[in-house]
Amino acid sequence: MAGVIKKFFVASLFMWVAPITILYGFNHQLFPGSTQLSSYSQTLLSGFLAVISFNMVIAFYICMAMKEPSDRHEPDPAFLAEAKSSISQSTPCESGDSSQAREKQE
């Protein structure tokens, strides 16, 4: 369980850090060639790359979650047996009781 939580926090951290780093880098001309772009083009490109980086982090996290082994997550056998027995028990029919109550009222 600790591994799953650790992966979640790391992915959440990268969901914030990657787009903000890209936006900061473009706004402060840290990336080569970004000074040659107009302000409008620079804003569009940095926003587009920030959104792409965010989606890549989500896709990576989904891939990691799908690789988790599913055989470890088995329900408790005692719980399953109790659930099956509670389903198989029949409940008393209330329709006969309600018809008798109507006859008494009349």
Instruction: Give the domain ranges of the chain.
Output: 1-68
pLDDT of the residue at 81: 85
Measured CA distances, 78 to 71, 83, 90, 91 (Å): 18, 9, 20, 22
106 pLDDT tier (thresholds 50, 70, 90) = low
Q: Out of 19-23, 38-42, 71-75, 83-87, which region has the weakest mean confidence (pLDDT)?
A: 71-75
Q: What is the DSSP string of 52-84?
A: HHHHHHHHHHHHHHHTS-STT----HHHHHHHH
Joined tokens for residue 102: 């109507």
pLDDT per residue as tens digits for the range 26-47: 888 888 877 888 889 898 999 9
Q: Structure pTM?
A: 0.60
pLDDT per residue as tens digits for the range 47-80: 999 999 999 999 999 998 888 776 666 777 888 8
For tokens 């914030």, the residue is: 16
